[in-house]
Amino acid sequence: MRLPFLTSGVFPDSEEWPDEPDDPDPESRWGQPEDDLTSIPSVEDPGERVDADAEVEIDSDLARYFWVTVVYANVALGGVSIGLLVIAFRSQFTVGGVAIAVGLIALYRTYDLYDSYQTRVADDDATGADDAAAASADTAGEVSANGSE
């Protein structure tokens, strides 16, 4: 049995149907973007000025405080959120409560580390300012003892 629509005589030689509209060209409304891009002003990239091989010196105490604080903050976020989810969806108050408690303890330790580092930095700055003031007072005393100025 031959199907009439599968024979070669049914379809015209062109692939377009006679009543089919032309396909719209979506890029015609923008013109030639390749040519227009050359008129865009250039801006200096600040990342190009930085030397990629330059090493940055970071105080080891600062790096240690930073990474320990990051770990504690992640444990706090995970503990509190998982604990709340376990309580809400599983109704396991014991497991959820323990997870929330671990998260809150980690959150407290995060704050405690941050506060102790800020206190230490403030004490170091105060000690450095006192040392600078004492050094300038010693220098002023030596100048007046020599009789000049």
- For residues 55 and 83, which has the higher predicted lDDT (pLDDT)? 83
pLDDT category of residue 149 using cuts at 50, 70 and 90 = very low
Residue 66: what pLDDT?
93
The span from the CA of 18 to the CA of 13, in Å, is 11
Q: Of 98, 106, 105, 122, which Cα lies nearest the Cα of 70?
A: 106
Rounded to 5 degrees, φ, ψ at 88 are: -70, -45
The span from the CA of 76 to the CA of 109, in Å, is 9
Question: Are 62 and 82 spatial neighbours (Cβ–Cβ below 8 Å)?
Answer: no
Residue 106: what pLDDT?
98
How confident is the model over 33-68, as pLDDT tens digits? Answer: 677 666 666 777 776 666 666 677 888 888 999 999
Percentages helix, strand, coil for the chain, rounded to the nearest 5? 70, 0, 30
Residue 122: what pLDDT?
86
Secondary structure of 43-108 in the HEC alphabet? Answer: CCCHHHHCCCCCCCCCCHHHHHHHHHHHHHHHHHHHHHHHHHHHHHHHCCHHHHHHHHHHHHHHHH
Residue 147: what pLDDT?
54
Write down the pTM of the prediction.
0.52
Of 113-117, 134-138, 141-145, which range is least confident? 141-145
